[in-house]
Amino acid sequence: MAAILFSGAALFDGETPALKSGWNVLVEGDRIKEVADKPIKAKGAREIKLGGKALLPGLIDAHFHATLCEANIARLDLMPKTLLAQHARVNLEAALQRGFTTIRDAGGADYGLAIAVESGLIEGPRLFYAGKVLSPTGGHGDARPLESATNAVACTCCLGATSFSHIVDGVDAVRRAAREELRRGATQIKIMASGGVASPSDPIYVLQFSEEEIRAAVWEAQSWRRYVMAHAYTPEAIYRAVSYGVRSIEHANLIDARTAKLCTEKDAFVVPTLVTYEMLEKYGREYGLPEVSIEKNKVVREAGLKSLEVLKAAGTKVGFGTDLIGGMHPHQSHEFAIRAEVLSGYEVLRSATAGNAELLQMEGQLGCIRPGAFADFIVVKGDPLKNVRLLDSPAKNILAVMKGGKFFREALD
């Protein structure tokens, strides 16, 4: 692979709160070789003169669901795995075209999809995956309809399981499920710590796993030098999870100041996913979301922007996620515009680059532009730090996408 030299870039390195004019970046293989504000000598390199266009680290979505091709998740188990895999391929490849060079899958994706991306069978983002989520009976991962009176889930390795979740009750069952996903290469373990929107039987306020069960999942993840991410909406659910060692809280729409302060003290991340509630409000019925879920969505949607204000005031580490399902995946980039109502362009972009890289335990490797990091970039028309809403129109404003030193999209003069 020939070396590539980006010259004359307006650089956002993932950490500095302004574009730096006139910078040059040399790529060799899949890594960044050199970054300088002076000319770089690189004999034989292909030079790409950016002429002041913005060069950013590849974007990171820390809450994605590649396989969730139905808004009604109960339907997923009616689909052949081969069909789910094809939906996942489409979702992953489209995300990369929108500039997301890395995603953290929050339930559903597995080792097979990760290898397919790594080997080039799928031209998608780098994939950090949780595998199947862990849910108690009647929890957010239990999609059986309310009228079902029997255990309708299949048995996988003696665990109650669906294509999306392990239905597990008790410490021993939680340990076994966590170990099973870690054995399969999961980069983090996902648990359900409160009720959710897409599941039919659990009100938002329901606390799902016991303290002992949560601590068991945390211990197992930490023993592999990994961590637990927890779906949680209410202050009580978030406070419990973080107190018991959970490192990443997903959604957190109803968080309060006291709980945000604890997250800050415990060095935990919170990953809001505001676009999904907007899209469920607009398109939920069209894509088959049950009425009970539509009603629950109203509760958390109204509190979304307030959660950003609470987290900012507490100085909590905030990640960038989207959580879209079914036919709503194309709206992934609208998360930028929603957050811009409360946060600065820098705050939004840092969360989607260097901030998320720290969450993924990949500081200095992803989400930044520095020597030794992966050569993941997007080239943007305009200044996204001054107007982050530019990224809400990726087809128009993202001119190039590079992952690992290879262009997957290029519309540069």
> Which strand (E) or helix (H) includes residue 21?
strand 20-28
Least confident of 69-73, 230-234, 349-353, 374-378: 69-73
pLDDT value of residue 196 = 82
Helix (H) or strand (E) holding 133: strand 133-135
- Average pLDDT of 269-273? 98
Here the tokens at position 351 are 């969360």
Query: What is the pLDDT at residue 150?
Result: 53
Average pLDDT over residues 366-394: 97
Mean pLDDT for the stretch of residues 376-394? 97
Residue-wise pLDDT tens digits, 5-41: 999 999 999 999 999 999 999 999 999 999 999 999 9
pLDDT digits 0-9 by tens, 106-118: 999 999 999 999 9
Q: What is the mean pLDDT of residues 376-393?
A: 97
Give the pLDDT confidence of 86-113 residue by residue, as tens digits. Answer: 999 999 999 999 999 999 999 999 999 9
- For the cut 70, the answer to whether the pLDDT of residue 152 exceeds it is no
Evaluate if residue 295 carries a pLDDT over 90: no
| Biggest CA-to-CA distance, the chain | 70
Q: If phi over 0 gives left and psi between -120 and 50 gives alpha, with beta otherwise, what is residue 250?
A: beta
Residue 215: count other Cβ atoms within 10 Å of its Cβ: 18
CB-based contacts of 164, cutoff 8 Å, min separation 6: 67, 68, 73, 76, 107, 108, 132, 133, 141, 143
Whether the per-residue pLDDT at 337 is higher than 50: the answer is yes
Is pLDDT at 153 greater than 60 in this prediction? Answer: no
Split at pLDDT 50, 70, 90, the class of 400 is: very high
Q: Is the pTM of this model over 0.75?
A: yes
Distance linking the first and last C-alpha atoms of the chain: 21
pLDDT computed for residue 12 by the predictor: 98
- Model pLDDT, residue 160: 52
**Confidence (pLDDT) at 156:** 37
Which is more confident, 342 or 326?
342
For residues 380-385, average pLDDT: 96
> Per-residue pLDDT for 151 more than 90?
no
Rounded mean pLDDT of the chain? 92
pLDDT(242) > 90: yes
**Could you tell me the strand order of the sheet in which 100-105 lies?**
59-64, 100-105, 126-129
Domains observed in the chain: 4-57+368-410 (2.30.40.10), 59-332 (3.20.20.140)
Distance of CA 11 to the CA centre of its chain: 24
Q: What is the mean pLDDT of residues 255-283?
A: 96
How confident is the model over 155-185, as pLDDT tens digits? 333 335 567 899 999 999 999 999 999 999 9
Nearest in space to 250 (alpha carbons), one of 189, 161, 176: 189
Q: In 3D, which of 16, 15, 40, 14 has the Cα closest to residue 28?
A: 40
